[in-house]
């Protein structure tokens, strides 16, 4: 027997049926009926953010650290437009999210009503799918479809734009099991012929490399387990994109570190010189490939991706396998074992010797300083003092993000939350809020920059309200560091608008919010200050004052190839081409 | 692996769920990713308003055309995408309404050419004709070019529609 209820009640009922425990939102006129229904129940907890962008990033952090979809509830007009950055971020990084936006009543749509915006029009290109609910009869189906679309296939954000009159209207609720999508049925199993061909290629490889990405993390913990098993039985080296960190343990000797623009020397050279590349859940992003016509020029490429449009998008591959990483890896391991394949041992020894040569460059080495805290040192100390299975790291975007990716090391998936595709400054604070909600016992640290953190620092208030003990570790070099670095390397050292003028006193700011402020200015006091941060039970803002002009290396200059990477400013002999200059 | 940089024209049939905004999704995909639309035709095709068929003529290198097909297939409301240029032998037609005005010899010449092209007269005044012409795009183009010096006033075209040959549906 289907129950009769209001549209607003249907939203809450669907949340409960979809096992939603937390939602991130901000009320307003066009969602008041839903907030009223929220008031009348206790199963779904609402986290009140301070800005709708914060709600979306919090939902992303929640999703990435828990494997469950993040859920957002915002009002019409500005509520929806403020959510656009987080929706785009979730689309680029394939994060499952369901965002309910209020809308003016159906008879007012198109009349430029108060707080009206064409939300489905605005969010069409920045969501995986979106809906404008036009009848109460469609609402339960749309709500369940939204969760299905957001969480299956290549995950992504889904917007449900819900006019206020439909929230008040009454209709019959449909349960999850009564809804089946008409067109959307993504494929998870890979083609076995292609998998067999891939295994033949893998077994014949002389200089192989695994290149893995966020798809492994999105596929779930099982994919990471299977990846570890496959890497072990092949004995091949493995590198990962920024998005994939944690799927393979960094402590393992087969791990080469991250690849790409600020990846390690050994990872990028292994990619450049490999003869067989096994791409699992990565998408040949421009941060990874560098100059396309010089990308791994002598390699045969295998690409496993759940999204058919990712295959042959920018790099033509020899074997494309459409499917979910865990499913494909499971078949690969089974077939590889049953066919008793082994790569040539002597070739592997030679390949590893070559890799060890590149490792000998010690590309992450930096000059130590006894008076000023080097940003790399700060993150190394932070890592040594906070590492562990219950530690979760979020970041903002810029130099500190790349240093965090280089010097903080991950052994497990779902511990590293960073804005990879969109590169959204301001991601880290709200993402940390979401991570802490999903992991109340975790140590959640936002490795931030002093510029990025100012974009969404209002969410510190959210952390204080909900007693979320997030730690905001600001690498404060008084510059938009990555902008400054590019201006130094590409624009003749003309630091146009990249100095962080008129900074707030972060310690006093923490106190003003009711959080704890800590500052460290010399290497001597750093460890004790980090320990104090760890021991402080509530939210902390840590102002880590670091050297101002440090650059982030290694670096592949834009428009250059993997084998043209530079290790320090002294070695910048590479004239950046005009084609390179126009790259971001 | 070498890529082929030759640009060729492709006709795609896209079966979509007939819901609000679906055409905007398809068009937005093309503009957002910088693909070309040379022609577009769309209408309901199943009688009960559930499904529409969009015929798109686009062009690009083989890699781009493969991307277009994959990107279209990824849209949640899309049932199916078929590249009729690659995957099937197909028949393509376009319909045009063409207004030509003039007197004397021009009028006679217009009528004579319309017979040669098997265009139908669907409206006439003492000083004008409206022709209805169906055929491949090239035929429609050729007829319009012939009408230009005679007194072409206005053209309205449907865009290309296409269907695969043989007894089976897509």
The ipTM estimated for the assembled molecules is: 0.92
Q: How many inter-chain contacts (A to B, CB under 8 Å) are there?
A: 44
Contact yes or no for B1 and A318 at CB 8 A: yes
pLDDT at B1: 42
Is the backbone peptide bond immediately before B12 cis, with ω within 30 degrees of 0? no
Mutate one of A312, A315, A318 to test the B interface: name it (highest B CB count within 10 A). A312
The confidence score (pLDDT) of residue A574 equals 53
Residue A145 falls in the annotated catalytic set: no
Task: Name the token pair of A251.
Answer: 């402590």
**Distance (Å) of CA A512 to CA A355, A458, A507:** 51, 12, 9
Residue A481 near residue A398 (C-beta atoms within 8 A):
yes
Per-residue confidence (pLDDT) for residue B2, from 0 to 100: 47
The per-residue pLDDT for A372 is 98
Q: Report the pLDDT value the prediction gives residue A119, as an integer from 0 to 100.
A: 98
Cβ atoms of A533 and A457 within 8 Å: the answer is no
Q: What is the Cα–Cα distance from A436 to A417, expressed in whole angstroms? A: 12
Chain A residues close to B35, C-beta within 8 Å: none
- The verdict on whether A114 is a catalytic residue reads yes
Contact call for residues A117 and A76 (beta carbons, < 8 A): yes
pLDDT of residue A584: 72
**Contact, B66 vs B83, CB < 8 A?**
no
Distance between A336 CA and the closest CA of chain B, angstroms: 26
Residue of B nearest to A158 (CA): B76
Question: Which residues in chain B have Cβ-Cβ distances shorter than 8 Å to A309?
Answer: 67, 70-71, 73-74
Contact A125 B66 (CB under 8 A): no
CB contact under 8 A, B24 and A317: no
In this prediction the pTM is 0.96
Smallest CA–CA distance, residue A408 to chain B, in Å, is 36
| pLDDT number for residue A576 | 67
Contact A183 B63 (CB under 8 A): no
Beta strand ranges found along A307-452 (DSSP E): 319-322, 391-395, 416-417, 443-449
Does the active-site annotation cover A164?
Answer: yes
Q: What is the pLDDT along chain B (170 residues), one digit of tens a residue?
A: 445 789 999 999 999 999 989 999 999 999 999 999 999 999 999 988 899 999 999 999 999 999 999 999 999 999 999 999 999 899 999 999 999 999 999 999 999 999 999 999 999 999 999 999 999 999 999 999 999 999 999 999 999 999 999 999 88
Q: How far is B54 from chain A (nearest CA, A)?
A: 16
Give me the sign of the Cα torsion angle A247, A253, A259, A263.
positive
Ranges in chain A, pLDDT < 70: 1, 570-576
A301 neighbourhood in chain B, CB within 8 Å? 1
Distance (Å, rounded) from C-alpha A574 to C-alpha A128? 40
* B17·A182 Cβ contact <8 A: yes
């Amino acid at each position: 027997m289907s129950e009769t209820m209001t549209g607003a009640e249907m939203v809450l009922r669907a949340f409960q049926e979809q096992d939603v425990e937390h939602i991130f939102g901000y009320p307003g006129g066009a969602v008041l009926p839903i907030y009223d229904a929220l008031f009348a129940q206790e199963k779904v907890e609402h986290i009140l953010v301070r800005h709708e962008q914060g709600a979306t990033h919090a939902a992303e952090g929640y999703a990435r650290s828990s494997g469950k979809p993040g859920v957002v509830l915002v009002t019409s007009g500005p509520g929806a437009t403020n959510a656009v950055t987080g929706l785009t971020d979730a689309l680029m990084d394939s994060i499952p999210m369901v965002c309910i936006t209020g809308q003016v009543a159906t008879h007012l749509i198109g009349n430029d009503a108060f707080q009206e915006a064409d939300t489905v029009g605005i969010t069409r290109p920045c969501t995986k799918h979106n809906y404008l609910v036009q009848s109460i009869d469609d609402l339960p189906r749309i709500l369940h479809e939204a969760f299905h679309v957001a969480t299956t296939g290549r995950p992504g954000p889904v917007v449900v734009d819900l006019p206020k009159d439909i929230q008040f209207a009454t209709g019959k609720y449909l349960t999850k099991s009564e809804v089946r999508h008409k067109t959307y049925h993504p494929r998870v199993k890979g083609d076995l012929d292609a998998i067999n061909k891939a295994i033949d290629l893998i077994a014949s490889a002389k200089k192989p490399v695994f290149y893995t990405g966020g798809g492994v993390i999105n596929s779930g913990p099982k994919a990471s387990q299977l990846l570890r098993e496959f890497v072990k039985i092949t004995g091949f080296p493995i590198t990962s994109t920024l998005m994939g960190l944690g799927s393979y343990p960094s402590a393992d000797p087969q791990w080469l570190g991250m690849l790409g623009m600020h990846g390690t020397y050994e990872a990028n050279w292994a990619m450049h010189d490999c003869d067989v590349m096994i791409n699992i859940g990565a998408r040949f992003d421009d941060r990874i490939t560098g100059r396309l016509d010089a990308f791994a020029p002598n390699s045969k490429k295998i690409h496993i991706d759940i999204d058919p449009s990712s295959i042959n998008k920018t790099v033509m591959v020899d074997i494309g396998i459409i499917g979910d990483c865990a499913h494909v890896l499971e078949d690969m391991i089974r077939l590889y074992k049953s066919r008793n394949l082994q790569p040539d041992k002597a070739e592997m020894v030679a390949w590893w010797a070559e890799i060890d040569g590149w490792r000998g460059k010690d590309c992450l080495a930096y000059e130590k300083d006894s008076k000023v805290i080097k940003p790399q040192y700060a993150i190394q100390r932070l890592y040594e003092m906070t590492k562990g299975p219950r530690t979760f790291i979020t970041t903002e975007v810029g130099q500190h993000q790349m240093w965090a990716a280089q010097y903080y090391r991950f052994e497990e998936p779902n511990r590293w939350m960073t804005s990879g595709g969109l590169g959204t400054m301001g991601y880290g604070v709200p993402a940390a809020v979401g991570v802490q909600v999903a992991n109340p016992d975790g140590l959640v640290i936002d490795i931030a920059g002093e510029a990025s953190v100012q974009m969404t620092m209002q969410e510190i208030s959210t952390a204080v309200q909900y007693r979320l003990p997030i730690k905001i570790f600001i690498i404060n070099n008084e510059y938009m560091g990555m902008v400054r670095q590019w201006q130094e390397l590409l624009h003749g050292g003309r630091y146009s608008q990249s100095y962080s003028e008129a900074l707030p006193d972060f310690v006093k700011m923490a106190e003003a919010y009711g959080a704890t402020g800590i500052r460290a200015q010399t290497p001597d006091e750093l460890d004790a200050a980090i320990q104090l941060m760890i021991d402080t039970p509530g939210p902390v803002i840590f102002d880590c004052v670091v050297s101002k002009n440090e650059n982030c290396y290694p670096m592949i200059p834009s428009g250059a190839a993997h084998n043209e990477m530079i290790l320090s400013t002294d070695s910048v002999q590479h004239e950046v081409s005009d084609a390179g200059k126009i790259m971001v | 692996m070498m890529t082929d940089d030759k640009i060729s024209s492709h006709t795609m049939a896209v079966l979509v769920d007939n819901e609000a905004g679906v055409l905007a999704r398809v068009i937005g995909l093309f503009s957002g990713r910088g693909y070309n639309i040379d022609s577009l035709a769309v209408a309901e095709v199943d009688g009960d308003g559930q499904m529409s068929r969009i015929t798109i003529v686009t062009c690009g290198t083989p890699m781009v055309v493969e991307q277009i097909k994959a990107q279209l297939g990824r849209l949640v409301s899309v049932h199916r995408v078929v590249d009729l240029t690659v995957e099937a032998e197909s028949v393509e037609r376009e319909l045009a309404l063409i207004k030509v005005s003039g007197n004397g010899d021009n009028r006679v010449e217009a009528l004579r050419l319309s017979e040669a092209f098997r265009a139908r007269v669907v409206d006439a005044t003492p000083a004008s004709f409206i022709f209805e012409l169906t055929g491949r795009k090239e035929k429609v183009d050729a007829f319009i070019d012939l009408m230009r010096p005679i007194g072409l006033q206005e053209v309205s075209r449907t865009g290309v529609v296409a269907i695969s040959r043989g007894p089976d549906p897509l």
